């Protein structure tokens, strides 16, 4: 699945000369407490140790990670490419010969930190496109809908878990997000291969939109730090995948940071309902809750931006939010009292509709 293509410093310097642009950016790491499984065979037993974490309170670090996620959408050396400079040379790319998971891998010259950047959804209504659009959409509707993208009788569902209005089969849902050919499975395979190639390095994950949510799910699986940008809420998908969660693994200790702004309806879990851009395009983006901690730039209050998908693109986030923000990086916080899909009744195989109390959708 993984195609390797290495770039040396000379190749990167040639690229710099051909564009006439300086590509130097800073990225800071800090010592912090990380959770590690005792062994690969038993991930339920963990220990806490000191490791390197991305400094999410440093603006330049967030900008650099954001540019890595931007690069994940682009062919190497393509138009608009952000070269991250001699400290973080592009090391590999994956998924570019098919309609599968895409992105790039960065390794610093000291081989101390390896960063996996995962591409997000290519959406036609956001001006994107390309061969990954159908599978991107399928993954979005599997991970972020309440029940197989069943939002009305006219919708085509992405799995067979719907029972009747307001009721869905929980066992079926768990199986539907844990099958082969979904991106989360491909991301896990990629992570295992890279871990074998670089044992002992500090691994961080990053991504934008769907890529950020996938990074969060892989980070939860393997207990590695994640910085995600404008990622749709993935807490419900993590629960269906039976990934670690509170109280055994508190959100404050996950080292997962979801960076986003208040005007992005996809990040806020508000791109849904009749007439929304997502609904019109056939995306059932119904979840509301992120795992880990959230860093929210209040662009609605500061810039009077209206809530929608207009500023969801990572390039806009980098240039209009991360680089332009003239205040300190917002404090990370857990999304408290957050509920996903409270209007659905999720039933086990042996339960009948109406056997549980539920709030009907309004």
Handedness of CA 156, 159, 164, 165 (dihedral sign): negative
Under DSSP, is residue 176 helix (H, G, I), strand (E, B) or coil? helix
Task: Determine whether 190 is exposed, middle or buried from the number of CB atoms within 10 Å of its CB (0-12, 13-18, 19+).
Answer: buried
Task: Determine whether 79 is exposed, middle or buried from the number of CB atoms within 10 Å of its CB (0-12, 13-18, 19+).
Answer: exposed
Annotated active-site residue in 209, 265, 277, 291 = 209
Distances (CA, A) of 313 to 123, 128, 161: 10, 10, 32
Handedness of CA 158, 221, 225, 77 (dihedral sign): negative
Nearest of 123, 119, 141, 145 to residue 133 by alpha carbon: 123
Q: Residue 155: enclosing H or E segment and its boundaries? A: none
Query: For residues 59 and 326, what is the distance between their CA atoms, to the nearest angstrom?
Result: 10
- The pairing of strands 29-37 and 46-54 is antiparallel
Query: For residues 182 and 139, what is the distance between their CA atoms, to the nearest angstrom?
Result: 6
Given a contact cutoff of 8 angstroms between Cβ atoms, the answer to whether 54 and 29 are in contact is yes
β-sheet with 167-169: strand ranges across: 162-164, 167-169, 345-347
Nearest of 211, 215, 238, 237 to residue 226 by alpha carbon: 215
Let me know if 209 is a catalytic residue: yes
Q: What angle do CA 302, 307, 312 make, to 5 degrees?
A: 90
Nearest of 313, 177, 160 to residue 235 by alpha carbon: 177
Q: Which residues are catalytic?
A: 209
């Amino acid at each position: 699945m993984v195609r390797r293509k290495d770039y040396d410093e000379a190749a990167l310097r040639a690229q710099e000369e051909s564009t006439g642009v300086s590509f130097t950016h800073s990225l800071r790491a800090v010592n912090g407490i990380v959770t590690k499984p005792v062994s690969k065979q038993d991930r339920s037993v963990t220990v806490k140790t000191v490791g390197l974490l991305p400094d999410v309170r440093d603006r330049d670090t967030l900008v650099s990670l954001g540019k890595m996620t931007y690069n994940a959408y682009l062919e190497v050396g393509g138009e608009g490419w952000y070269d991250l400079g001699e400290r973080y040379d592009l090391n590999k790319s994956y998924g570019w010969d098919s309609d599968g998971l895409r992105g790039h891998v960065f390794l610093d010259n000291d081989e101390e930190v390896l960063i996996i950047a995962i591409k997000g959804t290519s959406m036609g209504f956001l001006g994107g496109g390309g061969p990954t659009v159908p599978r991107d959409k399928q993954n979005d509707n599997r991970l972020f809908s309440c029940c197989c993208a069943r939002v009305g009788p006219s919708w085509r569902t992405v799995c067979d878990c719907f029972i009747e209005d307001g009721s869905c089969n929980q066992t079926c849902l768990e199986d539907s997000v844990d099958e082969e050919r979904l991106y989360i499975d491909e991301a896990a395979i990629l992570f295992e291969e890279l871990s074998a190639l670089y044992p002992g390095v500090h691994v961080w994950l990053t991504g934008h939109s769907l890529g950020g949510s996938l990074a969060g799910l892989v980070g939860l699986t393997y207990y590695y730090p994640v910085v995600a940008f404008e990622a749709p809420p993935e807490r419900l998908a993590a629960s269906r995948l039976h990934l670690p969660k509170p109280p055994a693994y508190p959100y404050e200790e996950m080292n997962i940071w979801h960076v986003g702004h208040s005007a992005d309806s996809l990040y806020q879990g508000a791109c849904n309902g009749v007439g929304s851009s997502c609904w019109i395009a056939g995306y059932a983006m119904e979840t509301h809750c992120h795992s880990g901690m959230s860093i929210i730039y209040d662009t609605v209050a500061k810039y009077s931006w209206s809530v929608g998908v207009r500023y969801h693109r990572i390039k806009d986030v980098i240039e209009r939010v991360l680089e332009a923000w003239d205040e300190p990086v917002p404090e990370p916080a857990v999304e408290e009292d957050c509920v996903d899909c409270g209007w659905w009744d999720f039933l086990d195989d042996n339960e009948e509709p109406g056997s549980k109390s539920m709030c009907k959708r309004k």
